[in-house]
Homo-oligomer: A and B are copies of this chain.
Amino acid sequence: MVVSPNSQRAPRSAAIPSIRDVAAAAGVSYQTVSRVLNDSPRVRSETRTAVLGAIERLGFRPSRAARALSLGRARGITVVTSNTVLYGYAATLQGIEEAARAEGMAMGIRVVESAEPAEVKQTVDYVSDASAGGVVVIAFDPMGTAVLEALPEHVPAVAAAEPAAPDRGRVAIALDERRAAADATEHLLALGHRTVHHVATPSEGRSSGRQAGWRDALERAGVEVPEVLSCGWDIGSAYAAGQWLSTQARTTAILCGNDDIAQGVRRALYDAGKDVPGDVSIVGFDDIPGSAYWTPALTTVRMDFAGLGQACYRAAVAELTGQAQPVPVLVPPSLVLRESTAPPPSA
């Protein structure tokens, strides 16, 4: 009639071993095991060996959840991004992931789809939780920026991309998009084009690096700065932008906000009977894997997203552990010349 007096929550037998089981097996206290796990110098090497043996024998793995609770913050990284599929975002994500995995760190992802206060707040709450660990905010766009600004100071976070307003001493790491865009624009001008049109991604503000670099180059050359065409992330809207540009007889060179946009623009020009690069030259941005195999192969700017991700990971861990900031070394963007650019028809 009486219930078993020892009815624990889990069957104590086949349970996952804890630090105390290891301690018992090694004949030491749980604290000593903890010290071994954290490489404390205060352990006799003999004792250490015994503990490590017990760990091996029992197949013990420290609980990330318990650590996070005790430490106040998880030893891991959460990435906040507005997108996981677009190349720039995905490649940065991959860079972070590889760096994290190499060090045995956990990684989580949280997407912010809009910059609306409610969603930004949810995201901030999410990463404010102890189990989020260090935070990397991919702030290529308004969504990321909004999160960055709303983040409480006590959350260890870094930004990928330059902050619009230098943000309360938050570490920010960025690729030199301004220089990259200027290089691409100058390449087109050097080929003899009168000016260069620009089709921008939704992530670009007027002060964004890509747009600023393009404008810089045009102004330095003293040529007309055409109005920027904005389009969405979907290639369909890039196609529409391309259609419009193909009606403008004076358009001979286009700098596209990314390679996907270049693809849509190129097809629109094709459908309008314009040859690339014979009639119009096109430059993309990002160097996505397929762009070398298009017809024509795309001239574009290669960006070191993987390096950016890696640098962000390191900075986030430094922020999390309170250690000194190593200076990140990023590969500068480079213009990759292929088949989609040539002198304008008249030249």
Contacts known (A108-B106, A109-B107); A290 close to B235, Cβ less than 8 A: yes
* A97 x B68 contact (CB < 8 A): no
**Which chain A residues numbered 271 to 316 have a C-beta less than 8 Å away from chain B?**
289-290, 292-295, 297
Contacts known (A290-B263, A295-B267); A74 close to B65, Cβ less than 8 A: yes
A182 at the interface (CB under 8 A from B): no
Contacts known (A63-B129, A289-B234, A290-B290); A94 close to B101, Cβ less than 8 A: no
A35 at the interface (CB under 8 A from B): no
Which residue of the partner chain, among B10, B68, B294, contacts A72 with CB atoms under 8 Å?
B10
Q: Using Cβ atoms and an 8 Å threshold, which residues of chain B touch A263?
A: 290, 293-294
* B131 x A131 contact (CB < 8 A): yes
Contacts known (A94-B85, A107-B110, A295-B295); A290 close to B64, Cβ less than 8 A: no
* B69 x A97 contact (CB < 8 A): no
* Nearest-neighbor residue (CB-CB) of A270 within chain B: B295
* Nearest-neighbor residue (CB-CB) of A64 within chain B: B131
Minimum C-beta distance from A41 to chain B (A): 22
Minimum C-beta distance from A268 to chain B (A): 9
Contacts known (A85-B91, A111-B101); A267 close to B289, Cβ less than 8 A: no
Tell me the complex Cα distance, A289–B288, Å.
13
* B65 x A125 contact (CB < 8 A): no
Tell me the complex Cα distance, A6–B98, Å.
42
* B239 x A131 contact (CB < 8 A): no
Tell me the complex Cα distance, A181–B94, Å.
30
* Nearest-neighbor residue (CB-CB) of A61 within chain B: B125
* B111 x A131 contact (CB < 8 A): no
Tell me the complex Cα distance, A50–B294, Å.
63
Tell me the complex Cα distance, A111–B93, Å.
12
* Nearest-neighbor residue (CB-CB) of A123 within chain B: B101
Spell out A's residues near B (CB within 8 Å): 9-10, 16, 61, 63-66, 68-69, 72, 74, 84-85, 90-91, 93-94, 97-98, 101, 104, 106-111, 122, 125-126, 128-131, 234-235, 239, 260, 263-264, 266-267, 270, 289-290, 292-295, 297
9 nearest A-B residue pairs (beta carbon): A65-B68, A65-B131, A267-B293, A64-B131, A108-B108, A65-B69, A65-B130, A85-B90, A64-B129
Seed contacts A61-B128, A64-B129, A65-B74; 11 additional CB < 8 Å A-B pairs: A16-B128, A63-B69, A63-B129, A74-B131, A85-B94, A107-B110, A239-B293, A260-B289, A267-B294, A290-B290, A294-B294
Supply 21 A–B pairs (Cβ within 8 Å), ascending by A.
A16-B130, A61-B125, A61-B129, A63-B131, A65-B65, A65-B69, A65-B131, A68-B68, A84-B94, A85-B90, A85-B94, A90-B90, A98-B111, A107-B108, A108-B109, A235-B290, A235-B292, A235-B293, A260-B290, A267-B297, A290-B290
